[in-house]
Structure 1
Amino acid sequence: MYLSRLVPDPSSHDFLRDLGDLQHMHRTVMSGFPEVTGDTPARSHHAVLWRLDRARTSQTLYVQSGTRPDWGHLGDYLARPAEVRELSPVLDALRPGRLLAFRLLANPTKRQHPEHQRDPGWRGGRRDNRYPIRKPEDQLAWLIKQGQRHGFIVPAGADTRPDVAVSPAARRTGRQTGRRANTITVDPVRYDGHLVVTDPDALREALGTGIGPAKAYGCGLLTVAPPRSA
């Protein structure tokens, strides 16, 4: 796998366009990879995940992929040349019990049937709708449940509470193209903290395929690093 670090030029017209529309940002991310034929979507074929990290004075776009990307065509979109590194050393170093710092921008949701479908007399089809999880304690519970599935736990911090900060991020929107032209709405949540590896294979899978929904729209990329000092 590869991890690209892109620093967009904040004055770039194309970047400002992408900031306002998730579909445009998705298209820019996918422009770094060859087109594919067949029924498999290009994002799945190249195992692409991405995340835009926002700071006060700059923004950084991280793109993870199974295929080595080519960002040479972005030109003035970037404030500096793109950095691309292999993730094999990170993946190979995962061991049970290892402590790591992590960041995850996720779209925690819950499935719920519309009210009329809960009526025992309802004879129409059943459709699961996804609803964003709003309460911080429920957002934390969602992460802990994901950890159980994906090979990690969140340890207790110095105050005995889970060692993770849960922060709501700004709502992101966009509009799909084509005949349906649906509106895209994502309510992301950022998780920053520490994790302990319990199942290296499951965690490698999660690092490669992402966690939660809205992976095409900047959610699901889990990044890890050596633990931060106290």
Structure 2
Amino acid sequence: MFLTKLTVNVTSREFRRDFADVHDMHRTVMSGFPEVTSENPARLSHGVLWRLDGTQSGFLLYVQSHTQPDWGRLPAGYLAQPAEIRSIQPVLDAVTAGRRFAFRLVANATRAIKSDPLPDGEVRAMRVPHRKPEKQIEWLARQGERHGFVIPLATNGQPDLAPSPCRPLRGRIRQTSGNQITIEPVRFDGRLIVTDPDAFSAALRDGVGRAKAYGCGLLSLARTQ
């Protein structure tokens, strides 16, 4: 598996377009990968996850994939520096039960609510974002149960985790008659402990939560004391 760090040129007209429309950003990310002939979407076939992180000087675009990308297909001037690509196999090899990591995750933390009955009596489930920090932390704890990790307690007795809101992601899917995309992601920075190495490795490869095509779900790790 590969992780790419792309230092974006914030003056690029194409980047400003992508920044305004998350579907355009998705298409730009996928331009680094070959087309597929299978019925699976290209993102799934290449195992692509991505995240746009703001910095003091601009933005870094991180892209994880099963397939080694070719960023020569990006628009001219899109990058401020050459792409940096490395294998994340050492990270996967370090996953063992009880291992502690610092982590960052931008996720689409949502819950399902029932809509009012339709004229035919059907009741549909709608997904709405968690906006309260305590509910966001509970959401991630449930994800940990599924994906083989727990959030330890900090010295203050609270989960060692800091959720913070991200700017809403909006866009328009032109291939489906202009359907609107609206996502309210949350960024989690904290520490975790691996409880199930197989489930956790799968979460690293496949992502956590929904909206993985639109900049959510990429779990980034760092060593911790």
TM-score range, shorter chain: over 0.9
The match for 1:115 is 116
Are 2:161 and 1:160 aligned? no
Q: What pairs up with 1:56-205 in 2 under 5 angstroms?
A: 56-74=56-74, 75-116=76-117, 123-205=120-202
Q: 1:126–1:162: structure 2 CA closer, same or farther, 3 Å change rule? A: same
Cα distance between partner residues in 1 of 2:98 and 2:38:
41
- SS of the residue 1:158 aligns to: coil
Q: Once the 2 structures are TM-superposed, how far is the Cα of residue 37 of structure 1 from its aligned partner?
A: 1.2
The match for 2:218 is 221
Are 2:44 and 1:44 aligned? yes
- SS of the residue 2:77 aligns to: helix
Q: CA RMSD in A?
A: 1.2
Of 178-187 and 89-98, deviating more is 178-187
TM-score (norm 2): 0.96
Cα distance between partner residues in 1 of 2:31 and 2:140:
31
The match for 1:20 is 20
The match for 2:3 is 3
Cα distance between partner residues in 1 of 2:197 and 2:2:
18
Cα distance between partner residues in 1 of 2:73 and 2:177:
30
- SS of the residue 2:138 aligns to: helix
Cα distance between partner residues in 2 of 1:83 and 1:225:
17
Q: Deviations over 1:1-33 (max 9, x none)?
A: 110000110111111110000010000000000
Structure 1 letter corresponding to 2:25: M
Cα distance between partner residues in 2 of 1:126 and 1:45:
34
Cα distance between partner residues in 2 of 1:16 and 1:123:
44
Cα distance between partner residues in 1 of 2:176 and 2:100:
47
Structure 2 letter corresponding to 1:35: E
Cα distance between partner residues in 1 of 2:122 and 2:93:
46
TM-score (norm 1): 0.94
| Unmatched tracts of structure 1, length 5 or more | none
Structure 2 letter corresponding to 1:143: L
Q: 1:189–1:179: structure 2 CA closer, same or farther, 3 Å change rule? A: closer
Cα distance between partner residues in 1 of 2:136 and 2:55:
22
Cα distance between partner residues in 2 of 1:145 and 1:210:
15
Q: Once the 2 structures are TM-superposed, how far is the Cα of residue 55 of structure 1 from its aligned partner?
A: 1.9
Q: Deviations over 1:53-103 (max 9, x none)?
A: 012322100000010101023241000000011111110111111110000
Q: Percent identity?
A: 52
Q: Contact 2:165–2:186 at 8 Å: present in 1 too?
A: yes
Question: After TM superposition, which residue ranges in structure 1, 4 or more long, deviate above 4 angstroms?
Answer: none
Aligned length: 224
Cα distance between partner residues in 1 of 2:6 and 2:155:
34
